[in-house]
């Protein structure tokens, strides 16, 4: 069996939503200290709906495929639906990632969460702080 699914290869070779939104409503950037990969997500939000989303990922193929799939999954959704997106859902939508590449999908979940937090902060929208654990203390880094 191939190491990567056809969907991973498709999103890696033809990533959707690559780029920058200059007047973004929220921006989130995360990095993985171990592999050095970095992901940045830009959200354009109107009335709590994600009208547009772009990403820049400096990282491995799985990180690029995860960003591409994750942005497709939250486009047109509410900010609260986007908050519920998990890295597992992204990996499943890609028909799976090799176990040692699951952390790449975590970057997508965290970058989206950070961008949403930025949006909530900019607009003084209250949120449950426990949904945004400090990076070093979250389960993914332990
Ligand atoms: Fe670092 Fe994939 S190897 S995000």
**Cα angle value 65/141/127 (rounded, 5°):** 85
Angle ∠(115,20,128) on CA atoms, nearest 5: 5
* Å from CA of 46 to ligand 1 middle: 32
Q: What is the pLDDT of residues 38-70, one digit of tens each?
A: 999 999 999 999 999 999 999 999 999 999 999
Task: Using alpha carbons, select from 109, 108, 114, 97 the residue that is nearest to residue 9.
Answer: 97
* Residues sharing a CB contact under 8 Å with residue 111, sequence separation 6 or more, in sequence order: 28, 29, 30, 39, 40, 41, 55, 67
Q: Does residue 17 have its Cβ closer than 6 Å to ligand 1? A: no
Q: What is the mean pLDDT of the chain?
A: 93
The pTM (predicted TM-score) of the whole model is: 0.91
* Catalytic positions, written as ranges: 35, 104
pLDDT tens digit string along 74-95? 999 999 999 999 999 999 999 9
Residue 142 in this model has a pLDDT that exceeds 80: no
């Amino acid at each position: 069996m191939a190491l990567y699914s056809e969907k991973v290869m498709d999103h890696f070779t033809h990533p959707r939503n690559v780029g920058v939104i200059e007047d973004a409503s929220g921006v989130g950037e995360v990095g993985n200290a171990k592999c050095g990969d970095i992901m940045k997500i830009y959200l354009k939000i109107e009335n709590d709906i994600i009208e547009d989303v772009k990403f820049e990922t400096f990282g491995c193929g799985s990180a690029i495929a995860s960003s591409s799939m994750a942005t497709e999954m939250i486009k047109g959704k509410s900010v609260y639906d986007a908050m519920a997106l998990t890295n597992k859902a992204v990996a499943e939508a890609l028909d799976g990632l090799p176990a040692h590449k699951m952390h790449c999908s975590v970057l997508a979940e965290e970058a989206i969460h950070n961008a949403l937090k930025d949006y909530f902060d900019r607009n003084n929208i209250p949120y449950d702080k426990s949904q945004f654990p400090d990076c070093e203390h979250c389960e993914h880094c332990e």
